[in-house]
């Protein structure tokens, strides 16, 4: 959230809240301004366009994801623990900020604009790359099976993570994501461990 003024941060936060509540489709300038208690034109003092707000949201998620990975990385544990921490950190983030899922999984919506879809792809790439790195470390230490490439394993782990989050959202958040995610992790661990 560096490089953003206080008002910009407010706008970003309100937007995230609105996305969580009503979905990206119902994120309108009118809604944002109403929630902030200001008028619509006032928004344009802080962001040139609605696109810029969405980009700011993505950049916010990007940097917070990056920071989390950074912390995981420097935690100094074994590769498999890092994967686990990353898995659980994601679960926690989604559970705490459902908007994150609404935003990250909105490829469809961002399809319209190359910059938006590019950012979403970038965030996904960062995660996949980090995951790959952790897997590689674990594979080098013979903790994880070596007969499958780290890219494929990343895909499988992240895919499962994403799908459980999607089911959670479709179910209207009706189950405990972190608990069910923990079960899922146990299964994944069994599958990939040596």
Partner DNA sequence: AATGAATGAGATTTCATTCAT
Partner DNA sequence: TATGAATGAAATCTCATTCAT
> Applying CB under 8 A, which residues contact a second copy?
23-26, 102, 105-109, 111-112, 117, 120-121, 124, 145, 147-149, 152-153, 155-156, 158-164, 166-167, 169-171, 183-184, 187-188, 190-192
Structure tokens at 101: 């899922």
Structure tokens at 32: 């944002």
Nearer to a second copy by C-beta: 77 or 145? 145
Q: How far apart are CA 77 and CA 126, in angstroms?
A: 20
Q: How far apart are CA 113 and CA 110, in angstroms?
A: 6
> Can you tell me which residue has the tokens 């992790």?
185
Instruction: Select from a second copy, DNA, none the partner in contact with residue 104, using the beta carbon and a kind-dependent cut-off of 5 to 8 Å.
Output: none
Cβ neighbourhood burial of 27 (10 Å; 0-12, 13-18, 19+): buried
Work out whether 26 is an interface residue with DNA (CB under 7 A): yes
Work out whether 68 is an interface residue with DNA (CB under 7 A): no
50-73 and 114-140 helices, crossing angle to 10°? 10
Minimum distance, C-beta of residue 58 to DNA, in the bound complex (Å): 16
Nearer to DNA by C-beta: 18 or 95? 18
Q: How far apart are CA 40 and CA 33, in angstroms?
A: 5
Instruction: Select from a second copy, DNA, none the partner in contact with residue 163, using the beta carbon and a kind-dependent cut-off of 5 to 8 Å.
Output: a second copy
Minimum distance, C-beta of residue 76 to a second copy, in the bound complex (Å): 28
Please identify, among the stretches 12-20, 48-56, 89-97, 170-178, the one whose residues bind DNA according to the rule CB under 7 A.
48-56
- The greatest distance separating any two alpha carbons of the chain, rounded to the nearest whole angstrom, comes to 59
Minimum distance, C-beta of residue 56 to a second copy, in the bound complex (Å): 19
Closest CA to 50 of 113, 94, 95: 113
Instruction: Select from a second copy, DNA, none the partner in contact with residue 156, using the beta carbon and a kind-dependent cut-off of 5 to 8 Å.
Output: a second copy
Minimum distance, C-beta of residue 101 to DNA, in the bound complex (Å): 21
Give residues in contact with DNA (CB under 7 A): 5-7, 26-31, 33, 37-46, 48-51
């Amino acid at each position: 959230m560096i490089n953003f003024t206080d008002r910009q941060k407010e706008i970003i936060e309100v937007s995230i809240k609105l996305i969580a509540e009503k979905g990206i489709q119902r994120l309108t300038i009118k809604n944002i301004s109403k929630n902030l208690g200001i008028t619509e034109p006032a928004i344009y003092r802080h962001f040139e366009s609605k696109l810029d707000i969405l980009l700011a949201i993505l950049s916010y998620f990007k940097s917070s994801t990056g920071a989390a990975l950074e912390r995981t990385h420097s935690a100094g544990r074994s590769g498999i623990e890092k994967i686990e921490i990353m898995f659980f950190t994601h679960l926690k983030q989604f559970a705490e900020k459902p908007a994150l899922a609404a935003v990250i999984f909105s490829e469809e919506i961002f399809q319209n604009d190359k910059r938006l879809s590019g950012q979403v792809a970038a965030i996904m790439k960062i995660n996949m790359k980090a995951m790959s790195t952790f897997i590689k470390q674990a594979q080098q230490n013979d903790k994880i099976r070596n007969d499958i490439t780290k890219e494929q394993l990343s895909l499988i782990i992240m895919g499962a993570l994403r799908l459980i989050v999607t089911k959670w959202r479709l179910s209207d958040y009706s189950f405990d994501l972190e608990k069910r995610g923990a079960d899922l992790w146990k299964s994944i661990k069994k599958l990939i461990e040596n």
